[in-house]
């Protein structure tokens, strides 16, 4: 069996929770739940650390109906390989992997797909330059 056959998603890197008011949600998670706040980013995002898994509070730019759902982001070391493997298995991605943010020490790449019920899922990879 090749690594291609043995590949499976394991590590959750980030979970996104839609919220109606990001400042109110940040205050609740930080001040009431005592979670470690990382940073806030435009347009309406708040990030927390949950023992190495990031929690993203997301106030959608467009108001949506009340059927909020979370997005699970699976951390992978090699996003192009994971994308290729899962695509070969019939997973339909919304677009090829794309750069979503340049951080001081790495680039954050993601690729989004849906489960059979239409729930949004994602692959994420933090790409650091080789020195």
What is the tens place of the pLDDT at every residue in 18-61? 888 889 999 988 888 888 999 998 888 999 998 899 999 988 76
Q: Does the pLDDT at position 10 exceed 60?
A: yes
User: What's the pLDDT score for residue 131?
Assistant: 60
What span, in angstroms and rounded, lies between the C-alpha atoms of 88 and 106?
28
- Name the strand (E) or helix (H) holding 11: strand 11-18
Structure letter (DSSP) for residue 93 = B
């Amino acid at each position: 069996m090749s690594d291609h056959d043995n590949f499976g998603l394991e590590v959750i890197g980030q979970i996104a929770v839609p919220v109606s008011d990001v400042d109110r949600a940040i205050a609740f998670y930080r001040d009431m739940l005592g979670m470690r706040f990382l940073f806030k980013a435009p347009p309406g995002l708040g990030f927390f650390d949950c023992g190495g898994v990031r929690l993203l509070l997301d106030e959608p730019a467009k108001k949506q109906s009340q059927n909020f759902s979370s997005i699970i982001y699976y951390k992978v070391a090699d996003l192009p390989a994971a994308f290729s493997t899962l695509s070969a298995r019939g997973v339909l991605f919304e677009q090829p992997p794309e750069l979503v943010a340049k951080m001081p020490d790495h680039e954050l790449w993601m690729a989004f797909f849906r489960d059979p019920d239409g729930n949004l899922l994602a692959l994420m990879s933090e790409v650091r330059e080789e020195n």
